[in-house]
């Protein structure tokens, strides 16, 4: 096999493997706005002065929702200084769906947001970009 044939063969192999390797490393050409697959991250921010125990209790209360995969730990908010007041706590809820396609899954997601809003400690809940 000559040099030109080997170069052509190597190029053909790379052309076939490149999409597979890119997909395996998470570098696909799909535009998904930051969260391409489950679990999706829903950030919950708590009012300043809320104790870690009260924040965790609010999260635990909503953990039974079928959309919830798991709940992250409560910690100090680390974001842009103008985003939330100093001293705010935050936690992440990992969910199964970002954009529910069925009525049932939409209702479950609505129930999750309603559960979070029910707590007076919660100021906001939104999916991360």
Dihedral, 34, 123, 64, 97 alpha carbons, nearest 10? -20
What gap in Å lies between CA 89 and CA 92, rounded to an integer?
11
Structure tokens at 90: 């935050």
* pLDDT for the residue numbered 2: 66
Residue 123's pLDDT is 92
CA–CA dist 127, 46 (Å, integer):
15
pLDDT at 70: 92
Say if residues 33 and 48 touch (Cβ distance below 8 Å). Answer: no
Q: Is the pTM of this model over 0.75?
A: no
**For position 17, what pLDDT does the model report?**
46
Residues of the chain with pLDDT under 70: 1-34, 78-87
Question: Cα-flanking dihedrals φ and ψ of residue 125, to 5°?
Answer: -145, 120
Cα separation of 89 and 118, whole Å? 17
CA atoms of 44 and 90, how far apart (whole Å): 5
Q: What is the pLDDT of residue 8?
A: 46
> Is 48 within 8 Å of 87 (Cβ atoms)?
yes
Confidence (pLDDT) at 83:
60
């Amino acid at each position: 096999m000559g040099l030109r044939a080997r170069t052509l063969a190597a190029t053909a192999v790379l052309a076939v493997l490149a999409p597979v390797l890119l997909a395996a490393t998470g570098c696909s050409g799909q535009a998904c706005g930051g969260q391409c697959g489950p679990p999706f991250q829903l950030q919950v921010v708590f009012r300043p002065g809320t104790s870690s125990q009260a924040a965790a209790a609010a999260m635990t209360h909503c953990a039974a929702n079928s959309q919830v995969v798991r709940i992250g730990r409560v910690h100090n908010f680390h974001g842009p200084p103008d985003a939330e007041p100093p001293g705010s706590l935050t936690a992440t809820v990992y969910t199964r769906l970002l954009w529910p396609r069925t009525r049932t899954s939409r209702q479950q997601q609505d129930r999750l947001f309603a559960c979070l809003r029910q707590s007076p400690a919660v100021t906001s809940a939104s999916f991360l970009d």
